[in-house]
């Protein structure tokens, strides 16, 4: 039998081949190293031992919980439901909820990236919405410091000034009613 072989057919079990490759462990002729010998080699080479799934989950759970909590907070601030977000990200609602709680899910890094990208997209969409509404409006409404309201064509040419002296709300209502009666869409400039 050649060095490193541990089975009758001359092949190592898959897990042992992986560990040898991953950790560069040396096996003696036909025998596995004991845990103590393996740990000594790992210590000499400064290599961390392979974590079991349970150890890995325990090690990462705090980080996952932090990431999930931040993304859940962003989702809630954007007034998005878990169902909407899960659908857009491409996972089930329960998977999204587990991810938000910091529980292990398959492809957590991919889910994290998709979740972040979706929330970034929603935020960008909401930031640009007033610009799109302004471009689609027939008439722009500009509020002046004295509470008078200017009605402007899209090229910002004044077409009317509304100031009844009744305050901003009354002037806005009158301006919007005037435009609506004419079949014009409006947008209030910030």
Q: Is the pLDDT assigned to residue 24 strictly greater than 60?
A: no
Residues 6+ apart with CB under 8 A from 163: 146, 147, 148, 149, 171
Residue indicated by tokens 């869409």: 185
Please tell me the predicted confidence (pLDDT) of residue 16.
45
**Judgement on whether residues 25 and 66 belong to the same structural domain of the protein:** no
Give the model confidence (pLDDT) of 27-86 as tens digits: 444 456 677 877 776 677 666 667 777 777 777 888 888 888 999 999 998 888 898 899
**Judgement on whether residues 72 and 115 belong to the same structural domain of the protein:** yes
Alpha helices in 13-155 (DSSP H): 14-23, 35-45, 53-77, 82-89, 93-101, 108-136
Give the model confidence (pLDDT) of 14-23 as tens digits: 444 444 444 4
Q: Work out how many domains the chain is built from and give that number.
A: 3
Residues 6+ apart with CB under 8 A from 184: 138, 139
Q: Is the pLDDT assigned to residue 131 strictly greater than 80?
A: no
**Judgement on whether residues 66 and 46 belong to the same structural domain of the protein:** no
Q: How far apart are CA 124 and CA 113, in angstroms?
A: 16
Please tell me the predicted confidence (pLDDT) of residue 145.
74
- Mean pLDDT, residues 130-139 taken together: 59
Please tell me the predicted confidence (pLDDT) of residue 185.
73
* Domain boundaries, position 157: 137-188
Which CATH number covers residue 93?
Answer: 1.10.260.40
**Judgement on whether residues 36 and 57 belong to the same structural domain of the protein:** no
Mean pLDDT, rounded, of the chain = 73
Residue 111: C-alpha distances to residues 67, 92, 94, 106, 107 (Å): 11, 11, 13, 8, 6
- If one counts every other C-beta atom within 10 angstroms of the C-beta of residue 97, the result is 16
Please tell me the predicted confidence (pLDDT) of residue 29.
45
Q: How far apart are CA 173 and CA 65, in angstroms?
A: 49
Angle formed by the axes of helices 53-77 and 93-101, nearest 10°: 110
């Amino acid at each position: 039998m050649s060095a490193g072989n541990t089975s009758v057919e001359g092949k190592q079990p898959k897990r042992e081949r992986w560990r040898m490759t991953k950790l560069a462990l040396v096996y003696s002729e036909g025998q596995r190293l004991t845990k103590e010998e393996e740990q000594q080699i790992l210590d000499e080479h400064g290599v961390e031992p392979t974590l079991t799934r349970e150890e890995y989950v325990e090690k990462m759970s705090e980080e996952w919980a932090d990431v999930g909590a931040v993304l859940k907070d962003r989702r809630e601030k954007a007034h998005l439901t878990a169902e909407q977000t899960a659908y857009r990200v491409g996972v089930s609602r329960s998977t999204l909820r587990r991810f938000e709680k910091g529980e292990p899910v398959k492809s957590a890094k991919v889910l994290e990236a998709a979740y972040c990208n979706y929330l970034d997209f929603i935020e960008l969409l909401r930031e640009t919405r007033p610009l799109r509404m302004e471009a689609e409006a027939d008439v722009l409404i500009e509020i002046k410091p004295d509470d008078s309201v200017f009605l402007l064509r899209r090229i910002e040419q004044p077409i009317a000034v509304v100031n009844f002296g009744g305050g901003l709300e009354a002037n806005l209502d009158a301006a919007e009613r005037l435009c609506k009666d004419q079949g014009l869409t409006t947008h209030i400039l910030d």
